[in-house]
Amino acid sequence: MIRKFLTLTAMGALMAGCSGDTDTQEKTGIALAPGETLEQPNPDRNVYFGDLHIHTRNSFDAYIFNVRTTPEDAYKFGMGEGITHPSGYDLKLEGPALDFMAVTDHAAYLGHLPAMDTEGTEISKLEMAKDMFSTDPDKIIAAFQLIGGSVRDGRKMDGVYDARIIGDVWKATVDAADKYYKPGKFTTFAAYEYTATRVTQGEGGGFAGGNLHRNVVFRDSAPDMPFGTLESSNPEDLWSWMDEQRAAGIDGLSIPHNSNVSDGEMFKLETYNGLPLTKAYADQRMRNEPIVEITQVKGTSETHPSLSPNDEWADFGIYEYLLSSQIKSKTSSGDYVRQAYANGLVLEDRIGSNPFQFGLIGSTDTHVAGGSFDEKNFWSKIGVVDGTPESRGSVPPGGKKSWEGVTVDPRAASWFSRWGASGYAAVWAEENTREAIFDAMRRKETYATTGTRIKLRFFGGFDFDAAMLDDPEMVSKAYKDGVAMGGDLVGEDKAPGFIVWAMRDAMSAPLQRVQIVKVWTDGGKTNEKVFDVACSDGGTVDPVTARCPDNGATVNLTDCSISTDKGAPELKTFWRDPEHKAGQRASYYVRVLENPVCRWSTWDAIRAGVPPNPALQKTIQERAWSSPIWYVPTKA
Amino acid sequence: MKIFRDPITHFVLIGLALVAINHFWNGYQGEQGRTITVSAAEIDRLSALWANTAGRLPTGEDKQQIIDQYVQQEVLVREAQRLGLGDDDTIIKRRLAQKMDFLVSGESKANNPSDAELESWFDANRDKFAAPERRSFIHIYLSPEKHGGAIERVAANILQNVQPGTDWKGLGDPFIQKRSYAAIPESEVTRLFGPDFASAIFKLSPGQWSPPIGSAFGLHLVRIEAIDDAAEANFEPIRAEVAAAWKEDQSTKAKQAALQELVRGYDVVIEGVDE
Number of Cβ pairs closer than 8 Å across A and B? 246
By C-alpha distance, the chain B residue nearest A17 is B89
Looking at the fold, whether A456 and A433 belong to one and the same domain comes out as no
**Which range (B30-34, B151-155, B162-166) has the least confidence?**
B30-34
Nearest neighbour of A4 by CB, restricted to B69, B216, B241: B69
Nearest neighbour of A135 by CB, restricted to B11, B25, B49: B25
Q: Is A529 inside any structural domain?
A: yes
By C-alpha distance, the chain B residue nearest A118 is B93
Instruction: Indicate the pLDDT class of residue B18, thresholds 50, 70 and 90.
Output: low
| A570 contacts B21? CB cut-off 8 A | no
Distance CA(B166)–CA(A300), nearest Å, equals 48
By C-alpha distance, the chain B residue nearest A539 is B145
Q: Does residue A318 carry a pLDDT above 80?
A: yes
Q: Is A30 inside any structural domain?
A: no
Structural domain harbouring A200:
2-13+49-381+419-441
Instruction: Indicate the pLDDT class of residue B95, thresholds 50, 70 and 90.
Output: low
By C-alpha distance, the chain B residue nearest A572 is B145
Interface test with A, best of B6, B11, B180, B263 (most A CBs within 10 A): B11
Looking at the fold, whether A345 and A232 belong to one and the same domain comes out as yes
| B215 contacts A324? CB cut-off 8 A | no
Distance CA(B110)–CA(B97), nearest Å, equals 20
Range B111-116, long-range pairs (CB < 8 A, 24+ positions): B111/B247, B113/B243, B113/B246
Interface test with B, best of A94, A140, A415 (most B CBs within 10 A): A140
Distance CA(B252)–CA(B103), nearest Å, equals 9
| A137 contacts B19? CB cut-off 8 A | yes
Predicted local distance difference test score (pLDDT) of residue A464? 96
Distance from CA of B219 to the nearest CA of A (A): 11
Rounded CA Rg of chain B: 29
DSSP A561: -
Q: Does residue B244 carry a pLDDT above 90?
A: no
Within 10 angstroms of residue A47's Cβ, the number of other Cβ atoms is: 21
Nearest neighbour of A385 by CB, restricted to B17, B49, B240: B17
Predicted local distance difference test score (pLDDT) of residue A26? 29
The most distant pair of C-alpha atoms in chain B lies apart, rounded to whole Å, by 83
| B183 contacts A8? CB cut-off 8 A | no
Over residues A126-148, the mean pLDDT reads 90
Looking at the fold, whether A310 and A181 belong to one and the same domain comes out as yes
Over residues A311-339, the mean pLDDT reads 93
By C-alpha distance, the chain B residue nearest A4 is B69
Q: Is A406 inside any structural domain?
A: no
| B4 contacts A20? CB cut-off 8 A | no
Instruction: Indicate the pLDDT class of residue A29, thresholds 50, 70 and 90.
Output: very low
Q: Does residue B109 carry a pLDDT above 60?
A: no
Looking at the fold, whether A435 and A479 belong to one and the same domain comes out as no
Distance from CA of B13 to the nearest CA of A (A): 7
Looking at the fold, whether A340 and A476 belong to one and the same domain comes out as no
> How many domains is chain A partitioned into structurally?
2
For β-strands A90-91 and A100-103, DSSP reports them as unpaired
Predicted local distance difference test score (pLDDT) of residue B101? 53
Looking at the fold, whether A431 and A504 belong to one and the same domain comes out as no
By C-alpha distance, the chain B residue nearest A117 is B93
Q: Is A578 inside any structural domain?
A: yes
Cα atoms found within 13 Å of the Cα of residue A538, Cβ hemisphere only:
5
| A137 contacts B53? CB cut-off 8 A | no
| B217 contacts A569? CB cut-off 8 A | yes
| Closest alpha carbon to A196 in A215, A223, A173 | A215
Over residues B119-144, the mean pLDDT reads 90
- How many contiguous H segments (helices) and E segments (strands) does chain A have? 14, 27
3-state helix, strand, coil in chain A (%, to 5): 25, 25, 50
Predicted local distance difference test score (pLDDT) of residue B54? 75
Q: Which of A91-95, A284-288, A470-474, B87-91 has the highest mean pLDDT?
A: A284-288
| A377 contacts B13? CB cut-off 8 A | no
* Residue spans in chain B of domains classed CATH 3.10.50.40: 134-228
| A28 contacts B77? CB cut-off 8 A | no
3-state helix, strand, coil in chain B (%, to 5): 60, 15, 25
Within 10 angstroms of residue A544's Cβ, the number of other Cβ atoms is: 6
Q: Under DSSP, is residue B181 helix (H, G, I), strand (E, B) or coil? A: strand
Distance CA(B25)–CA(A542), nearest Å, equals 64
Chain B hits for A88, CB-CB cut-off 8 Å, are 49
| B177 contacts A31? CB cut-off 8 A | no
Nearest neighbour of A134 by CB, restricted to B12, B89, B183: B89
Looking at the fold, whether A426 and A458 belong to one and the same domain comes out as no
Distance CA(A215)–CA(A107), nearest Å, equals 10
Predicted local distance difference test score (pLDDT) of residue A136? 83
| Closest alpha carbon to A547 in A574, A572, A568, A516 | A516
Chain A hits for B228, CB-CB cut-off 8 Å, are 34-35
Q: What is the pTM of this model?
A: 0.80
Q: Is A391 inside any structural domain?
A: no
Predicted local distance difference test score (pLDDT) of residue A460? 98
Over residues A246-264, the mean pLDDT reads 97
Nearest neighbour of A141 by CB, restricted to B15, B49, B176: B15
Return the ∠ at Cα A440 (arms to A437 and A443), rounded to 5°.
155
Over residues B104-121, the mean pLDDT reads 71
| A144 contacts B7? CB cut-off 8 A | no
Chain A hits for B96, CB-CB cut-off 8 Å, are 9, 12-13, 16, 18, 20
Looking at the fold, whether A470 and A358 belong to one and the same domain comes out as no
Q: Is A401 inside any structural domain?
A: no
Looking at the fold, whether A495 and A467 belong to one and the same domain comes out as yes
The CATH class, in words, for B134-228 is alpha beta
Distance from CA of B275 to the nearest CA of A (A): 23
Over residues B142-146, the mean pLDDT reads 91
Looking at the fold, whether A264 and A288 belong to one and the same domain comes out as yes
Q: Is A29 inside any structural domain?
A: no
Q: Does residue A472 carry a pLDDT above 90?
A: no
Q: Which amino acid is at B133?
A: E
Instruction: Indicate the pLDDT class of residue B5, thresholds 50, 70 and 90.
Output: very low
Predicted local distance difference test score (pLDDT) of residue A173? 98
DSSP B131: B
Q: Is A412 inside any structural domain?
A: no
Q: Is the dihedral of CA A458, A463, A466, A472 positive or negative?
A: negative
Predicted local distance difference test score (pLDDT) of residue B103? 55
Can you say how many angstroms the Cα of residue A77 is from the centroid of all Cα atoms in its chain? Answer: 18
Q: Does residue B32 carry a pLDDT above 60?
A: no
Q: Using one digit for the tens of pLDDT, what is the confidence trace for B155-206? A: 999 999 888 778 888 899 989 988 889 888 998 899 899 999 999 999 999 9
Looking at the fold, whether A70 and A165 belong to one and the same domain comes out as yes
Chain A hits for B218, CB-CB cut-off 8 Å, are 569-570
Over residues A520-525, the mean pLDDT reads 92
Interface test with A, best of B18, B67, B193 (most A CBs within 10 A): B18
Looking at the fold, whether A128 and A71 belong to one and the same domain comes out as yes
